[in-house]
Amino acid sequence: MTEIHNPTPRDAFDLLMAGNQRFVAGAPEHPNQDATRRTETAPSQQPFAVLFGCSDSRLAAEIIFDRGLGDLFVVRTAGHVAGTEVLGSIEFGVSVLHAPLVVVLGHDSCGAVAAACSALENGQTPGGFVRDVVERVTPSVLAARAAGRESAEEILAEHIEHTVDLLLERSRVLAEAVAAGRLAVVGLSYRLADGSAKLVATRGLDAALPTTS
Ligand SMILES: [Zn+2]
């Protein structure tokens, strides 16, 4: 099927976006979802991408990118906020499983982003550990506002890009892999209504990017 051996960051990105385009068009191929693939991948895995996205129930990774078993190493948290376990999981996907691509996947109408915005507006933060999630989104909202980017779409793009930068600032493993050309870290903004994933940030992917919108 659409298998590439030892994919480059660009190969992996193209493979992922091709799957999203099939999903958007309503023509999914459901690759790598059968019993043969299950048997093939049982002894070991070689995912071509680490997907770090929001936990939102509408962002089901293998569905929206039309992939199957063994393709994506998936880490998801509300608002794609990254603590140490998240960083460790992403590093595992890159340094042990050798995935050439890390994708940060955010989306419109994200509850975590909305909660951070309203916490800044009315000063009320949620209780429990939800507060921790909201507080980790807040710096992105503040940065967007400081740059005069006030729309929901702009704030979301800021949060996605901020997350990409945070991964590379905090993880030496990821930063070194990007510097060596072995890895790209990209940010995608997903639209719930039409299922499209648009590139909003890229580190380590070659220039002249085709923007899919
Ligand atoms: Zn969300």
Residue-wise pLDDT tens for the chain (213 aa)? 456 788 999 999 999 999 999 999 999 999 999 999 999 999 999 999 999 999 999 999 999 999 999 999 999 999 999 999 999 999 999 999 999 999 999 999 999 999 999 999 999 889 999 999 999 999 999 999 999 999 999 999 999 999 999 999 999 999 999 999 999 999 999 999 999 999 999 999 975 455 444
At 2 the pLDDT is 52
CA separation for the pair 159, 85 (Å, rounded): 20
> At a CB cut-off of 8 Å and minimum separation 6, what does 50 contact?
72, 73, 74, 75, 90, 93, 94, 99, 101, 102, 103
Cα(209) to ligand 1 centroid in Å equals: 25
Protein residues placing their CB within 5 Å of the ion ligand 1: 54, 56, 110
Vertex 169 angle, CA 199 and 137, to 5°: 65
Measured in Å, residue 142 CA sits from the centre of ligand 1 at 18
Ligand 1 midpoint to CA 190 (Å) = 10
Identify any residues that bridge with 202 across adjacent strands, giving them in sequence order.
186
CA 76 to ligand 1 centroid distance, Å: 10
Residue 198, CB half-sphere, CA atoms under 13 Å: how many?
12
pLDDT at 208: 46
C-alpha of residue 164 to centroid of ligand 1, in Å:
16
Q: How far is the CA of 105 from the centre of ligand 1 (A)?
A: 9
Q: How far apart are CA 57 and CA 195, in angstroms?
A: 13
Prediction pTM value = 0.94
One-letter identity of residue 25: A
Query: For residue 183, what is the enclosing H or E element?
Result: none
CA of 77 to the centre of ligand 1 (A): 8
